[in-house]
Amino acid sequence: MSAAARFVTLEGIEGVGKTTQVARLSTALDARGIAHAVTREPGGTPLAESIRQVVLTAREEPLPPTAELLLMFAARAVHLANHIEPNLQAGRWVICDRFTDASYAYQGGGRQLSDEPIRELEHMVQGSRRPDLTILLDAPVQRALARAAARNAGSVQDRFETERKEFFERVRAVYQARAAAEPNRIVVVDAAQPVEEVSARILEHLKARSWIS
């Protein structure tokens, strides 16, 4: 087993249980004495969260897709420089709820921007930094959205969560295509299973890499 710090991201559409699984993964790492930071995108630092607020706040003035993409990568540049890289350099794992695969899936797939600007920004902001492992929590859109809606009952839904089902079908399709294209980095876990089963599958992927026992 290597002691190297790992950069692990969890991806998937709303309602697949990312937040729950990030918390359960953190508990499993704690139980093994593995130092780690838990974070999320967009956001992850006070400054990046302030950029997240600009993106997610519903307002009358439209946010052009290119501007949304630039804000996402601005927040990511802050998050990488001020939180992710310092943790990895200090030997702590970083468990991140969403990263650049989400930009391809949401801005590319969902909002139908071309991949070219996303690739340019990925290079500009990350250089060669990529997650060591990405766990794609996958479930049928109807099922995931029903879960997200139940969770948000009585609360104000953010801008993304009011988008239509077809939007999330496009998002899911891009996630699946990326997993197929990069099977070594991105593993697909069936998120329609019970929560405990999903957690077990995630830990199996870490064990298979000899990152945990």
Which residues would be at the binding site for a second copy (CB under 8 A)? 45-47, 50-51, 54, 59, 61-64, 66-67, 70-71, 73-75, 77-78, 81-82, 117, 120-121, 124-125
Give phi and psi for 180, each to the nearest 5: -70, -35
Please check whether residue 43 is in contact with residue 49, taking contact to mean a CB–CB distance below 8 angstroms: yes
Minimal distance, residue 136 CB to a second copy, in Å: 26
Residue 51 vs 186, nearer CB to a second copy: 51
Q: How many residues does the chain have?
A: 213
Residue 158 vs 169, nearer CB to a second copy: 158
Residue 16 vs 121, nearer CB to a second copy: 121
Residue 19 vs 50, nearer CB to a second copy: 50
DSSP-assigned beta bridge partners for residue 55: none
Minimal distance, residue 19 CB to a second copy, in Å: 24
User: Comparing C-alpha atoms, which of 96, 83, 89 is closest to residue 4?
Assistant: 89
How many Cα atoms within 13 Å fall on the side-chain side of residue 35? Answer: 9
Only one residue has tokens 């996958």, namely: 138
Minimal distance, residue 9 CB to a second copy, in Å: 19
DSSP-assigned beta bridge partners for residue 159: none
Minimal distance, residue 160 CB to a second copy, in Å: 17
